[in-house]
Amino acid sequence: MQSFRHILRDSNCFLQSGIDSLKQWSDNWLLNLNISKCKIVSFGRHVDKNYVYHIKENNQITPLDHGESYKDLGVTFDEKLTFRDHIHNKVHKAYAI
């Protein structure tokens, strides 16, 4: 499950509340999240990675790792939206054939 939001100011509290709401929704519908696979990727020119997002489960807080890229539906998105990794992977796969 993915969650996206455009940030217009330097407030991260509503993003953490969105993560908390997503966790509560998944618990209500008995859909377990694999927290070890949950990552945070921020897209933009000036990415602030200082804030640590977390997921709370069974009274244990697990910090989420910041990733530099994310693959969805076969397309690799990097934090600068350059698609450099995606193009490199496709060209490499074409040469392998």
Q: In the prediction, which pLDDT does 86 show?
A: 93
Task: Name the domain count of the chain.
Answer: 2
Mean pLDDT of 66-79: 88
Q: Are residues 64 and 54 in contact, defined by beta-carbon separation less than 8 angstroms?
A: yes
- Model pTM? 0.68
Top pLDDT among 1 and 71 is at: 71
Residues spanned by the domain of 11? 1-66
Residues 62 and 72 in one domain: no
pLDDT tens per residue, range 40-62 = 888 877 777 788 899 998 889 99
Q: How many residues does the chain have?
A: 97
Task: Answer yes or no: is pLDDT of 26 > 80.
Answer: yes
Residues 52 and 97 in one domain: no
Question: Can you tell me the distance from the alpha carbon of 48 to that of 76, in angstroms, rounded to the nearest whole number?
Answer: 21
